[in-house]
């Protein structure tokens, strides 16, 4: 696999924190950042946002003409049928989504999603031209080698049946770090993300594979991790557009050409 993406991928999920009106305000602010911040305009950063389902058509409209990618917080396992309350990958693609979050720890814990469900959702996204943002992570804190082995196992499970030429964004989110005061220790993140990236690089089915870190990610983390990760997946910290701008400043600084 050859990574064909930008230097860094930075994404934000609004989860269920925003109202419809606040989501629109946030999308407007993100459009301004995308059109003015040099880290985005020069291609150093690929920016994405994953808002709630009802806001997706309007967010797609508002961010059209910008390089920001829009994703859904979930996707159905099947493309059509009697699945009340579900939203299919073909419909997401139809309205302009290019990403779908799959396998988040909250979906696994709160809604009982198994690895089989995660795999089915991953493949539903891929067969419809949508890049899965595949969330992987160990349940309890332990050693980096053990964590790497566990998330690689989860990755292999989710990618069963993946067609050649696919793209995937792997979001490493140790479950024990989600919502914590601090992210996982830097050395732990680096070791696990490098193992994931090596595993993706060896997968000949993938044309593009990136490894980003989530789990209480915030300011200073990109600088600390350097090029050990391909980006970060932000939650509540980046729900303030000004805070997102701080992260973009950090990305621009990190990827300045060496003199």
Which residues are designated catalytic? 104, 173
> In angstroms, rounded to a whole number, what is the distance separating the alpha carbons of residues 25 and 120?
34
Hey, is 131 helix, strand or coil?
strand
Q: Which helix (H) or strand (E) holds 243?
A: helix 241-254
Two structure tokens written together for 137:
């992570």
Strands (DSSP E) found in 137-190:
166-172
The span from the CA of 245 to the CA of 247, in Å, is: 5
Tokens in use for 258?
A: 């060496």
**Residue 142: CB atoms within 10 Å:** 13
Buried b (16+ CB within 10 A) or exposed e, 73-109: bbbbbeeeeeeeeebbbebbbeeebbbbbbbbbbbbe
Question: How big, in percent rounded to 5, are the helix, strand and coil portions of the chain?
Answer: 45, 15, 35
Do 205 and 163 form a contact (C-beta atoms < 8 A)?
A: yes
- Taking Cα atoms as reference points, which of 217, 195, 235, 252 lies closest to residue 16? 235
231 vs 34: CA distance, rounded Å: 16
């Amino acid at each position: 696999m050859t990574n064909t993406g930008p230097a860094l991928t930075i994404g934000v999920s609004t989860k269920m924190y925003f109202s419809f009106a606040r989501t629109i305000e946030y999308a407007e602010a993100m459009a301004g950042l995308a059109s003015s911040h040099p880290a985005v305009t020069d291609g150093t950063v690929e920016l994405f946002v994953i808002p709630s389902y009802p806001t997706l058509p309007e967010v797609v409209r508002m961010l059209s003409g910008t390089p920001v990618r829009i994703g859904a917080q979930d996707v159905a396992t099947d493309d059509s049928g009697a699945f009340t309350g579900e939203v299919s990958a073909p419909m997401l693609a139809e309205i302009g989504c290019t990403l779908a979050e799959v396998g988040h720890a909250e979906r696994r814990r709160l809604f009982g999603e198994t690895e089989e469900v995660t795999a089915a959702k991953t493949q539903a996204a891929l067969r419809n031209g949508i890049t899965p943002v595949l969330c992987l992570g160990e349940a309890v804190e332990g050693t980096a080698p053990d964590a790497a082995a566990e998330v690689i196992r989860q990755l292999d499970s989710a990618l069963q049946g993946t067609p050649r030429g696919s793209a995937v964004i792997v979001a490493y989110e140790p479950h024990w770090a989600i919502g914590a005061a601090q992210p996982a220790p830097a050395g732990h993140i680096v070791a696990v993300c490098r193992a994931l990236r090596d595993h993706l690089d060896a997968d000949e089915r993938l044309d593009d594979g990136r490894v980003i870190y989530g789990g209480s990610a915030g300011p200073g983390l990109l600088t600390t991790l350097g090029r050990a990760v391909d980006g970060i997946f932000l939650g509540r910290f980046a729900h303030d557009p000004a805070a997102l701008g701080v992260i973009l400043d950090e990305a621009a600084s990190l990827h300045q050409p060496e003199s």
